Every structure is written in C-alpha cells, then in structure tokens.
Amino acid sequence: MFQFVILIPSYNEEKTLKKIIKKLNKNNVYIINDASTDNTKNLTKNRNIKIINNKKNIGYENSLFKGLKKIKNKKYDYVITMDADGEHSTSSIKKMEIFCNKYSPDLVIGNRSRKNRISEKIVSFLFKSKYNISDPLSGFKAYKLSSIRLYLKNYKIKQIFLVDLIYLFIKKKLKIFNIDIKSNVKPIRKSKVGNLLLANFKIITCLIYLI
C-alpha cells in the first residue's frame, strides 16, 4: 500500500480551509499559507497537519511547487493536491488513493463534475480530444513523487503553470489517468485584475500545447 500526503495551497481562505481540516484530521496534510492576512497560520495544532507560511505572496502554482519540493524526499509515495476554497470534496480523496494503489499511475487528474468557466470547458474538450485528459485545469491531482523528484530538484520559483508539468508527463510518455470527482459550487469572489490576467495567461498556455 502506498503512502499518501495531501497538499493544499491557501491564500485568505480561512473559513473554507477550517472545514476541510476538520474532515482531514486523520490524514497527513501540508498547507502552504501564501502570506495570508487572515488567521490561516493559526488554524490547527494537529500533528498530522503542518502549515508552512510563505514570507511573501508567491501565487498558487509556486506555492504548490514549494510544497511538492518540501515533501519530495519524505516517506510518501504520492501527493494529492486540492484547493482550499471548498470546491473539491474531501470524499474524493479515498477514491484517488484506491485508484493509485490499484494502478500505480504517474499522474491522476480529477475530472470535476462542474467547470467554473466556459474557457475551462473549452480547454477540457480540446485536451480530451488530443491527449485524452479530461480536466487539465483541475487542482485535484495525484502525483507519484518518484516521477517528479528530478524536476523538483532543479525547480526555482518562477512563473510556471501546472499544465506545463502535465505536458512534461506527456512528453515523457508517463502514465496519466483521469478519474471523475465530486466538485462543490465554487464560492463567488470579487475579481482581482491580477488574478484575471493570470487566469487568461494560463488558458493561453493551455492552448499553446494544443497547437
């Protein structure tokens, strides 16, 4: 049986993260607190749940990669990533673990039951057609650590997207699978120009890999 750890990047998502933590109190969890201004850094004293606090805001993807790099040399075989906003149901974690134990994949991507934007639906359709990947923009994934250790060893904080890592898996012809997961209605938030520009750039990056 493989050993799993859950990795959650978070920025000012104290309320939803608190609910997630209550459901994961028996799991091994790393939370990357991306310089939140709320009370994220003091959310729990559970030994299984470790909170790593960024000194400055480095963004969602960089926080995830920082967490992956932190975990890469520990006893775990797989890292399951999920978002802190409550979109991903914790009930999908067990399903992901069962799948990994059965098939030993390099990467599993959770295909959300709901997509948040029209652009995500379009990208998902195109990736499914070309690469048989149903939801490349999903934050719910499982990575086999042995498949990404070398990449993480040379990784430095920069502007990178998780779709870049997916494309690396594709080029190396590693085993990529999709599984359907339950997704909750994503909370409505006020748009920020920086986040909107970043989201659009991420979509453009996805489209480049489809050319």
pLDDT at 23 over 60: yes
Q: Is residue 5 within 8 Å of residue 96, measured between CB atoms?
A: no
101-112 confidence digits (pLDDT tens): 999 999 999 999
pLDDT at 194 over 60: no
Q: How far apart are CA 105 and CA 90, in angstroms?
A: 20
**Mean pLDDT value across residues 114-119:** 82
pLDDT at 206 over 70: no
pLDDT at 190 over 70: no
Q: Is residue 32 within 8 Å of residue 54, measured between CB atoms?
A: yes
Going along the chain from its start, the domains and CATH numbers come out as: 4-208 (3.90.550.10)
62-95 confidence digits (pLDDT tens): 899 899 989 988 899 999 999 999 999 999 999 9
Distance of CA 209 to the CA centre of its chain: 20
pTM above 0.75, yes or no: yes
Give the residue among 141, 29, 31, 143 at the shortest CA–CA distance from 78. 143
- Give me the half-sphere count of Cα atoms (radius 13 Å) on the Cβ side of residue 47: 0
What pLDDT was estimated at residue 162? 73
Q: How far apart are CA 136 and CA 31, in angstroms?
A: 22
Tally of CB atoms within 10 A around 154: 6
What pLDDT was estimated at residue 98? 98
Bridge partners (DSSP) listed for residue 111: 180
What value, to the nearest 5°, has the Cα angle with vertex 87 and ends 57 and 25? 80
pLDDT at 99 over 50: yes
Q: How far apart are CA 109 and CA 138, in angstroms?
A: 7
